Amino acid sequence: MSRIGKSPVSIPKGVEIRKEGNLIKVKGTKGELSQHIDSDITVDIQSDKVVLSRPTDHKRHRSLHGLYRALIANMVKGVSEGYKSEQELVGVGYRAVNKGQILELSLGYSHNVSFELPKEIKITTSNEKGQNPKVIMECADKQLLGMVAAKIRSLRKPEPYKGKGIKFTNEVLRRKAGKSAAKK
């Protein structure tokens, strides 16, 4: 992780970074994010880049150096471009409908599953004929988006035989062969 920590984070136009004690605040067109930084890591904010440095080469300092550099880079990209997650519902009768910040999923259970999303996430659903229903989420916070996407996927993980369940659109599933009825 130390090689990642050594490279500076470039700041695009329209993004403002402030340091208040051990708190880094990043503000851009898509929103505002903040991250607490360990007191051992030094953050130097220059006009067009952010440089992080560590006091020693201990294993803890090396790992924190790379971690906080990656987190700051994700925050900068999130407030300038944003992150997007697309999921498909594969299965007969599977549907997704959003009502504001509540995602209502029909996943083959005896009841519909309602999932309340955080206010930072923008959600859209599409149920086009002939295609699997899709859930598309957009957010500036990569950690929050990944956590919510993983929670939605855990409601009905794709099974390995037919691939039915909730999967990411670019995800490749490992399929298993079913029972073989070969007689010898």
Q: What is the pLDDT of residues 30-49, one digit of tens each?
A: 999 999 999 999 999 998 99
Are 66 and 12 within one domain? yes
Q: Residue 2 pLDDT > 70, yes or no?
A: no
- Segment 6-22 shows an average pLDDT of 91
Residues 6+ apart with CB under 8 A from 3: 66
Are 87 and 162 within one domain? yes
Are 31 and 106 within one domain? no
For 77-101, b where at least 16 C-beta lie within 10 A, e where not — what string? Answer: bbbbebbebbbbbbbeebebebeee
CATH number for the domain spanning 147: value is 3.90.930.12
Note whether residue 13 is domain-resident: yes
Note whether residue 177 is domain-resident: no
Are 95 and 152 within one domain? yes
Are 48 and 64 within one domain? yes
3-class DSSP state of 11: coil
Are 21 and 71 within one domain? yes
H-run or E-run covering 17? strand 16-20
pLDDT at 180: 76
pLDDT in tens, 74-128: 999 999 999 999 999 999 989 999 999 999 999 999 999 999 999 999 999 998 8
Are 33 and 55 within one domain? yes
Q: Residue 1 pLDDT > 60, yes or no?
A: no
Are 55 and 97 within one domain? no
Last residue of a domain, one of 20, 45, 80: 80
Full domain range(s) for residue 62 = 2-80
Note whether residue 184 is domain-resident: no
Q: 142-154 vs 59-80: helix axis angle to the nearest 10?
A: 90
